[in-house]
Each structure stands twice: as C-alpha cells, then as structure tokens.
Structure 1
C-alpha cells in the first residue's frame, strides 16, 4: 500500500492546481509557468507525465487489452482523468476546453509511459 502514497500525494497536488485554476486563483506554480514560453503546455506534459509514471510504477506496469491493443493501465487511467478534467472546463467561466492542452497531456502520458517501461522491461534501474 505504501507504493501508492506518491501517486496519491501527486494526484492531490494536481487536484489543488485544477481547483485553483477553476476558481480563477493564480497560485505560485501558475505564475512561474506563465513566464516560461509554452509553460502551460509544458506543465501539462510534466504533470500528467509524472502522474502516469508514478501510477504505472505502483501498478508494476500492468497492461490491459483495449481496442485490440495492449496498453499500460496507469496510462489509460491518467488519460481518462485528463480527458474528464479538460471536458469539465466547459462548465467553468474562467476556463476553456483546449485540444492543445489535451495533446500535451497525451505527449506526457506517452513519454512517461514509454521511457520508464523500457527500463522496466530491461530490468534497468531508473
């Protein structure tokens, strides 16, 4: 059960960022990323990528069959959450649904699934 602690802690961190953004509050992380070119998109890549890495690792890179393809369960769960979060932005006046944000989420999920999984399969330390 301890292996899920980093996942839960990081998920709570992301939820704090989402709730802050939904309420229009500019927290320090958003202010920092605003000064970086494409900072919002990089934030999406790293937030959802790291969450994916942590969850896949906690699940020992368990995969499931979906649409005839074998996909990492953690990646599917995080993508579902990212998609749901992006859709809910349609209901908040201070937020906007953005396919580019969703694309950045997918890039992070894919990158942070593929690289660690490659190390995992080869029994290499990460």
Structure 2
C-alpha cells in the first residue's frame, strides 16, 4: 500500500486515524453483540492475531495523527497515542469480564501490547513533513 498522500499532511493522518477508529469501534461492538464470531474453527488464534493487528494499527495511526507527541512521566518520555490505546485495551478486557458474549484473556491483552509496541516502532520510522513554523520532530 502506498501511503504517500498521508505523509504530506497531518490532516491525512488525522483522517486515517478517525476512519480507522470508526472501523475498530464497529468491530468491537459487533463482537459484544455476537454479530462477529469470537472463535473460529477454520483460522486458529484469529482472535489473538486480530488483537495484535487491530490495536497495533490504532497505535500506529494515533501516533502519527498526534505528530508523535510524547508526555513525560517521572522523567520518562512516553508516546501518548500508544499509551492511550494500551489503556483502552485494559478497559476493554475488564469490560469483557462483564459480558456474557466475550471472555477476557491475558493472551489477548499481551497480543494487544505487543502489537502496540511493534506498530509504534513502525510509526516512528515514518518521516513526518514539517509545516511552516513547526519544530523538528
């Protein structure tokens, strides 16, 4: 896939994030409503693989939409978007304990976090074009 149209504009990354976020929310709601099957006999571990890719991509698009913004916590620089995605993953796994149609899983949470870390590293490799007056990232 060629994402060159996104590199030229922060607006492109913001649009990509919000579009992807809408897709992700639709998938999540579908799983809670049992429209989307949680298990598949034909594709082993598809749910865990889905967690890895779906939440990883959320971190990727979010990190670029926020222009790789980081926050400082106890002198440690933490990327904001991946942190927010990780917090949402924890909240979702906790909510799954309350749902009769979903089941919380440490493996899914681990897949979320590994996906977030890997896709964050991929996003770090993307060169963002500076706009006038913007500091170098």
Q: Secondary structure at the match of 1:65?
A: strand
Deviation at residue 102 of structure 1 after TM alignment: 0.5
Identify which of 13, 19, 26 aligns with 1:16.
Answer: 26
State how far apart, in whole Å, the 2-side matches of 1:66 and 1:79 are: 16
Which of structure 1's runs of 4+ aligned residues deviate more than 6 A?
A: none
Q: Name structure 2 gaps, 5 residues minimum.
A: 1-10, 129-137
CA 1:113–1:10 in structure 2 vs 1: closer, same or farther (change >3 Å)?
same
Identify which of 31, 43, 51 aligns with 1:36.
Answer: 43
- Per-residue CA deviations over 1:56-90 (Å, capped at 9, x if unaligned) read 01111111123442111110111111111111111
Partner of residue 25, structure 1: 35
CA 1:97–1:20 in structure 2 vs 1: closer, same or farther (change >3 Å)?
same
Partner of residue 13, structure 2: 3
Q: Secondary structure at the match of 2:97?
A: helix
CA 1:100–1:2 in structure 2 vs 1: closer, same or farther (change >3 Å)?
same
Tell me which protein shows more helix as a share of its residues.
Answer: 1
Aligned residues: 118
Judge which range, 98-107 or 63-72, deviates more.
Answer: 63-72
| Larger Cα-atom Rg | 2
CA 1:21–1:69 in structure 2 vs 1: closer, same or farther (change >3 Å)?
same
Deviation at residue 2 of structure 1 after TM alignment: 4.8
Say yes or no: does 1:90 pair with 2:100. Answer: no
Deviation at residue 14 of structure 1 after TM alignment: 1.0
TM-score w.r.t. length of structure 2: 0.76
Q: Secondary structure at the match of 1:91?
A: coil
